């Protein structure tokens, strides 16, 4: 099996260039930092620890938790997989069928950049507010150009799938034992590029809220609710269980069920291993500029993408606040079907896609919080 590698090489080069720029920027900022040690005079703060009138709040930290990423530059590669596409002419409202647009099977390789930034804009003991941006892409490189005359495959080959998003997270401690977390995302998902953005009215919104208990420095948990697209289609009533537990200086659990779960093994303060899963998904707006009827059938449609990733992640400090993350696992397809519009009834698909389950690999360089 021979794949065209020029696109893959281009993407790898972009990842390396971004990585170099990232490391240079961090190194420069560290070099400009005055490292002269200043002895603090704690007397000027008064007897804070003995003042019972000062209200105290719980923190969002659990001992030995995996580090929070402020800036992340990564790359993901999914090994060759097969997609089988079936058009549903009756549901599409177009009678009859065309042989070239019937069942069609093809092999492709998926890869792309994963960029993220998340910074605190308010950081007080009584409230923490983070704002962030992210960019994910899945470029799909088909094995045989002859298979790309299929309208569905052609739409994926030309621009792949992209997500550009904004996010906000609020951690509000109520006292020393209780807290509230609220998070919201706005994502622009589709087969677009930055010279040809899709309409902003195709933005998809997700939100979650959690009420929690901080039992100790080794345990915090909470119950909540989410509006999410992780199953590809919007679901407004997803119950949540957050559970972060450190059993000792070696073992712990980090979970936000049903979205993700990791068992953590700390080797040292600067290295750890995570074994678990994450459910990823979103709804992607598809545009096709081809004029044939089958391309127009999917113009304005929505790919309901959902996948379960079972993975092993190793994270290691490189220097200071710079960490390396390497990941390997199995991507299992849950949904990749196509609805005519965003508000089309669930399960009434105009295109059904069946994907095989490939191995995947990912790496990232991260600037983490102290």
pLDDT one-digit tens code per residue, 222-260: 999 999 999 999 999 999 999 999 999 999 999 999 999
Q: State the average pLDDT for the chain.
A: 83
Confidence of residue 200 (pLDDT cuts 50, 70, 90): confident
CB 134, CB 176: distance < 8 Å: no
Q: How many helices (H) and strands (E) does the chain have?
A: 3, 15
Query: Is the separation of the CB atoms in 275 and 260 below 8 Å?
Result: no
pLDDT above 90 covers a percentage of the chain that reads 62
Residue 347 CA, chain-centre distance (Å), reads 25
More confident residue, 361 or 143: 361
Task: Name the band, by pLDDT with cuts 50, 70 and 90, for residue 32.
Answer: very low
Whether the per-residue pLDDT at 34 is higher than 50: the answer is: no
The predicted pLDDT at position 26 comes to: 44
Residue 191 has pLDDT above 60, yes or no: yes
pLDDT grade for 174, boundaries at 50, 70 and 90: very high
Task: Tell me what pLDDT residue 55 has.
Answer: 86
Which residues, 6 or more positions from 348, have their beta carbon under 8 angstroms from its beta carbon?
91, 339, 340
The confidence band for 262, taking pLDDT boundaries of 50, 70 and 90, is very high
């Amino acid at each position: 099996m021979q794949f065209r590698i020029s696109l893959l090489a281009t993407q790898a080069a972009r990842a390396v260039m971004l990585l170099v720029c990232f490391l240079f920027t961090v190194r420069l900022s560290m070099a400009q930092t005055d490292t002269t040690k200043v002895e603090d005079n704690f007397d000027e703060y008064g007897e804070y620890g003995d003042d019972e009138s000062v209200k105290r709040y719980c923190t969002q930290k659990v001992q030995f938790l995996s580090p929070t990423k402020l800036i992340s530059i990564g790359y993901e590669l999914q090994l060759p997989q097969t997609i089988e596409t079936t058009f549903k002419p009756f549901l599409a409202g177009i009678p009859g069928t065309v042989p070239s647009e019937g069942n069609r099977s093809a092999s492709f390789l998926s890869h792309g950049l994963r960029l993220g930034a998340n910074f605190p804009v308010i950081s007080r003991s009584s409230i923490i507010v983070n704002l962030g941006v992210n960019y994910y892409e899945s470029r799909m490189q088909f094995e045989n150009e002859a298979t790309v005359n299929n309208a569905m495959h052609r739409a994926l080959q030309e621009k792949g799938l992209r997500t550009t998003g904004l996010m906000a997270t609020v951690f509000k401690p109520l006292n020393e034992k209780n807290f509230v977390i609220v998070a919201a995302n706005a994502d622009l998902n589709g087969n677009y590029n930055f010279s040809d953005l899709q309409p902003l009215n195709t933005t998809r919104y997700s939100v979650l809220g959690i009420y929690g208990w901080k039992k100790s420095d080794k345990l915090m948990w909470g119950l909540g609710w989410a509006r999410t697209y992780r199953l590809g289609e919007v679901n407004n009533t997803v119950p949540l269980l957050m559970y972060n537990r450190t059993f000792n200086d070696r073992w712990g659990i980090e979970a936000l069920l049903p979205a993700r779960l990791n068992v953590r093994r700390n080797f040292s303060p600067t290295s750890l291993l995570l074994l678990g899963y994450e459910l990823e998904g979103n709804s992607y707006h598809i545009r096709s500029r081809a004029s044939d009827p089958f391309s127009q059938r999917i113009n304005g449609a929505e790919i309901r993408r959902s996948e379960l990733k079972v993975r092993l992640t190793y994270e290691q400090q490189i220097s200071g606040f710079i960490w390396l993350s390497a990941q390997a696992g199995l991507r299992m397809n849950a949904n990749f079907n196509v609805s005519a519009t965003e508000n089309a009834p669930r399960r009434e698909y105009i295109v059904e896609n069946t994907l095989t389950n490939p191995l995947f690999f990912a790496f990232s360089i991260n600037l983490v919080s102290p």
